[in-house]
Amino acid sequence: MRRSIAPGDNRGLVRKRSIFRRRVSTRGLASADYYGYAPLALRDPFCLFMHPANPAHPFLTNRRVVFFLALLCCVLWGSSYPAIKGGYALFGIAPADVPSKLVFAGWRFLVAGLLLLVYAVASGQAVRGFTRREWTQISLLGLTQTTLQYVFFYVGLAYTSGVKSSIMNATGTFFSVLLAHFIFHNDRLSFNKVVGCIAGFAGVMVVNLGSGLGGIPSFEFTLLGEGFVVIAALVLAAASIYGKRISQGIDPIVMTGLQLSIGGAALLVGGYASGGHLSGFTPASTALLVYMAVLSSLAISIWSLLLKYNRVSMITAFNFMVPVFGVALSSLFLHESLLDWRYAAATVLVCGGIWLVTKEPAA
């Protein structure tokens, strides 16, 4: 006999909701997470490691700790720009030596992927037992998000400055917002998103302004340099959407470790097959390569833990600091001009745009 429910008695509904939440929490990125968190995940590719609400963690929910760790991730990601260009110098890789660039990138991401897999195993996650379909999906993700993206990024970075690359690579956030509008019915463009995208792409225009004949402003933009950096950002945005889809049934850390390993291995095969090589190993160059591998795996692991125990909007709000640190560290280590008005204006526009598109709407 079914129990009648008096008007206003919502205990059954509350119980069903609690059961649903428990089921979702055991499935990782299930459908409820997909539709509820997709807007935020697309604005930030690293939200692929997002989890449903978790019990408070006394250490990882401490505001000072969260602030420090989030900034640490931004510093690590921002440091990759001068680190890559510094690696070209230490290993003697010429701008036109694309095969050696692929070898350089391949070793970085293969080691980073293996480090993530070791972390996953130590955390009790299964790294085997995937179906043929899942292996195909992970491989496709690795070949696009790692291999294809970094072919464009590593080549582009060789033909432009670290400061400009830091600013222009941030366009990936805006590409994600625009692509999401056409793919997800619940992630349409809003006023904040439109203004943020306009500001971000305006920053890209500003950073490429130069002085032409007679002091007339001209547009300084090359396909192999700035163009490849922007294409890399677009590839990352599209691949992140695909990664968001397949991560619903696969642990995100395991998925990332596998796709980095596969993508890194593909870069190595392509680089060595094209005549590339990596020589000039010294304590300094070896330490730099190890640092670049560690920064990728460490930043992803820390960021995923912060997203697990804190509000997503609070963590993604730090995204605008990545180009800031990228510009500052490129200026510091590569001795590139930081006082140029174009860089200052572009940094403000791009960071402001990222803040607008990741701003949590009012309840």
Token pair, residue 221, equals: 């933009």
Q: DSSP 3-state assignment of 209?
A: strand
Sign of CA dihedral 327, 329, 330, 331: positive
Residue 212 buriedness (CB in 10 A; 0-12 / 13-18 / 19+): exposed
Q: Tell me how far apart the terminal alpha carbons of the chain are, to the nearest angstrom.
A: 41
Task: Please give the residue that has the higher pLDDT: either 63 or 88.
Answer: 88
What percentage of the chain has pLDDT greater than the value 90? 23
How does residue 339 score in pLDDT terms, banded at 50, 70 and 90? low
Q: CA-CA distance, 271 to 102, in Å (whole number)?
A: 5
Q: What is the pLDDT of residue 251?
A: 79
Exposed e or buried b per residue across 102-126, where buried means at least 16 C-beta atoms within 10 angstroms of its C-beta: bbbbbbbbbbbbbbbbebbeeeeee
Exposed e or buried b per residue across 149-175, where buried means at least 16 C-beta atoms within 10 angstroms of its C-beta: bbbbbbbbbbbbbbbbbbbbbbbbbbb
Q: DSSP 3-state assignment of 211?
A: strand
Q: What is the pLDDT of residue 17?
A: 45
Token pair, residue 197, equals: 């995208």
How does residue 313 score in pLDDT terms, banded at 50, 70 and 90? low
How does residue 316 score in pLDDT terms, banded at 50, 70 and 90? low
Q: DSSP 3-state assignment of 203?
A: helix
State the average pLDDT for the chain: 76
Does position 20 have pLDDT exceeding 70, yes or no? no
The 10s digit of each residue's pLDDT in 98-123 is 899 999 999 999 999 999 999 889 88
Mean pLDDT of the region 153-167:
83
Cβ(110)–Cβ(258) below 8 Å: no
Q: DSSP 3-state assignment of 219?
A: strand
The amino acid occupying position 30 is: A
Q: What is the pLDDT of residue 360?
A: 61
Q: CA-CA distance, 88 to 95, in Å (whole number)?
A: 8
Q: CA-CA distance, 24 to 11, in Å (whole number)?
A: 20
Mean pLDDT of the region 253-281:
92
Q: DSSP 3-state assignment of 289?
A: helix
Cβ(253)–Cβ(118) below 8 Å: no
Token pair, residue 142, equals: 């690795």
**pTM of the full predicted structure?**
0.72
Q: CA-CA distance, 97 to 118, in Å (whole number)?
A: 33
